[in-house]
Amino acid sequence: MSEKKSNGQARYDELAYEKKNYFEEASEAERTAMFDYAEGYKAFLDEAKTEREACDAAVRMAKEKGFTEYKFGDKLAAGDKKYFVNRGKSVVVFRVGTEDLEKDGLRIIASHIDAPRVDIKQNPLYEQSGMCFLKTHYYGGIKKYQWTAIPLALHGVVVLKNGQKVEIKVGESEDDPVFYINDLLPHLGAEQMSHNGTKIIEGEQLNVVVGGMPYADKDVKKKIKLTVLNYLNREYGMCEEDFLSAELCAVPAFRARDIGFDRALIGAYGHDDRVCAYPALTAVLNNESRHTVLAMLVDKEEIGSEGNTGMQSKIYEDLMEEICIALGASFRKVRYASKCLSSDVTAAYDPNFDTVYEKMNAAMLSCGTCMSKFTGSRGKSGSNDANAEFVGEVRAMFDRAGVVWQTAELGKVDAGGGGTVAKYLANLNIDTVDLGVPVISMHAPWELISKADLYSNYRAFIAFMA
């Protein structure tokens, strides 16, 4: 029996706000659903470590749900289920709703499918001191020292001299070899460890070991290099010059795994931002809506949303305009009525590094997907800073659907900051707010999230589409 609350306590509970832990709030059935949903997510993570692979996986999943490819100029009608692929690196999955598009607008969930990694240079291959290496240039914001002494897989494409495109993916099967970036033994590491963290491993030291066996011919000078070249030629039809037109990258060879005795958490490479892309995708694939809904899975967020596959590209604006034309609606009117969740991860409060967070406004693990009214750094510089009216509208959507969610900003004021694709959509005159899953060790080769937050994110997207 619980004791009766005092009047003051009852009044306090009525008026005060506190975050809730979604695991605690969830029913038994909901907790089972969380764990089931996480299985599909982990499989997606293992299948899709690069933007190309995530794009392919999304297309495969869309086809399985009866979605068909859309190209500019195609006719559209209410009920249509479509996907639009941009250069194999980004994909927009959408459903045409029944509402008047000019009045109702589009409901957009925008996420990204690229992740920090170590890209292979265009002239990368050399042999030195019994080892053969690939030179690299890192992609996105990494702590370089974290990428040494772990198993790495090589993923990507090579466009051969004859124009043929070949795919490479080595290090993901149990019987595949993996690759490696060297670090220094502590016995000789005193000088190295006296450096600032950014200098412990320098960019030009991120060289990937890819071989060690000399070719059996005494006359050849670079015997190990020849062994590697010979292998690449036999397997992929490559010669050294073909690296010039290749996009290869080293990613962690780890698979997604449950973390903890209770399996509440997931460790994986690339939660940022697949932990939003997968829920965005599955929300649109699995749920009908009277609204016209789009899940955008875009590339290049980690390097500033640049290029023709990044969110700043005109192609996404063109796509929305083409959809409007096909449905006989004015794009200007439609975008003014549109709503967008810019869905990217945020920093989860980490008690082991508490000095960089302001706890009242930090994302707490397992307290649900996290809305950030603004991102940016210093005085909100570079931020979209959503309007209170729109935040209120989205808040009401979540509350109606019983979504457990929270709000936060990334770190304490002046501790650092960040930003994502929100502002590019907001610049189009679309109401936009950031929403995403809190991540521990963001941008590390293996990041951590909570299954509760993953599922909360999915439920939030469904509420947004309803």
CA 39/CA 261 separation, integer angstroms: 17
Q: Which stretch binds Mn ion (CB under 5 A): 178-186, 198-206, 342-350, 457-465?
A: 342-350
Counting contacts by CB under 5 A, is residue 344 touching Mn ion?
A: yes
Partners of 377 in the β-ladder: 381, 417
CB of 456 to Mn ion, least distance (A): 17
Cis upstream peptide for 273 (omega within 30°): yes
Cα dihedral value 315, 319, 324, 325, nearest 10: 80
Counting contacts by CB under 5 A, is residue 434 touching Mn ion?
A: no
Counting contacts by CB under 5 A, is residue 447 touching Mn ion?
A: no
Q: Which stretch binds Mn ion (CB under 5 A): 153-161, 241-249, 285-293, 343-351?
A: 343-351
Run of H or E including 441: none
User: Tokens 């932990």 map to which residue?
Assistant: 275
CA 464/CA 457 separation, integer angstroms: 10
Cβ nearer to Mn ion, comparing 305 with 456: 305
CB of 102 to Mn ion, least distance (A): 32
Cβ nearer to Mn ion, comparing 289 with 375: 375
Cβ nearer to Mn ion, comparing 254 with 331: 254
CB of 301 to Mn ion, least distance (A): 5
Q: Which stretch binds Mn ion (CB under 5 A): 128-136, 221-229, 269-277, 403-411?
A: 269-277
Judged by CB under 5 A, which of 51, 119, 127, 272 binds Mn ion?
272
Count of other CB atoms within 10 angstroms of residue 384: 26
CA 83/CA 99 separation, integer angstroms: 20
Cβ nearer to Mn ion, comparing 51 with 273: 273
CB of 86 to Mn ion, least distance (A): 18
Cβ nearer to Mn ion, comparing 273 with 409: 273
Cβ nearer to Mn ion, comparing 232 with 426: 426
Counting contacts by CB under 5 A, is residue 273 touching Mn ion?
A: yes
Question: What's the gap between Cα 358 and its chain centre?
Answer: 25
What's the CA angle centered on 119, arms 212 and 347, to 5 degrees?
Answer: 125
Judge whether 110 and 305 are in contact, CB under 8 Å.
Answer: no
Closest C-alpha to 371, from 281, 433, 418, 422: 433
Cβ nearer to Mn ion, comparing 211 with 418: 418
CB of 363 to Mn ion, least distance (A): 14
CB of 416 to Mn ion, least distance (A): 13
Site residue total, Mn ion (CB under 5 A): 3
CB of 302 to Mn ion, least distance (A): 5
CA 64/CA 226 separation, integer angstroms: 44
Count of other CB atoms within 10 angstroms of residue 188: 8
Cβ nearer to Mn ion, comparing 272 with 322: 272
Q: Which stretch binds Mn ion (CB under 5 A): 78-86, 95-103, 171-179, 336-344?
A: 336-344
Cβ nearer to Mn ion, comparing 156 with 270: 270
Cα dihedral value 355, 361, 365, 368, nearest 10: -170
Judge whether 117 and 250 are in contact, CB under 8 Å.
Answer: yes
CB of 115 to Mn ion, least distance (A): 7
Q: Which stretch binds Mn ion (CB under 5 A): 27-35, 280-288, 325-333, 339-347?
A: 339-347
CB of 45 to Mn ion, least distance (A): 15
Cβ nearer to Mn ion, comparing 67 with 254: 254
Cβ nearer to Mn ion, comparing 273 with 322: 273
DSSP 319-384: HHHHHHHHTT--HHHHHHH-EEEE---EEBP-GGGGGG--GGGSBPTTS-EEEES--EETTTBT--
Judge whether 300 and 316 are in contact, CB under 8 Å.
Answer: no
Radius of gyration of the chain (CA): 24
Q: Which stretch binds Mn ion (CB under 5 A): 26-34, 73-81, 171-179, 340-348?
A: 340-348
Q: Which stretch binds Mn ion (CB under 5 A): 79-87, 314-322, 338-346, 379-387?
A: 338-346
CB of 30 to Mn ion, least distance (A): 27
Counting contacts by CB under 5 A, is residue 114 touching Mn ion?
A: no
CB of 231 to Mn ion, least distance (A): 34
Judge whether 288 and 94 are in contact, CB under 8 Å.
Answer: no
Cβ nearer to Mn ion, comparing 79 with 141: 141
Residue spans of alpha helices (H) in 16-144? 22-25, 28-47, 51-64, 101-104
Binding site residues, Mn ion, CB under 5 A: 272-273, 344
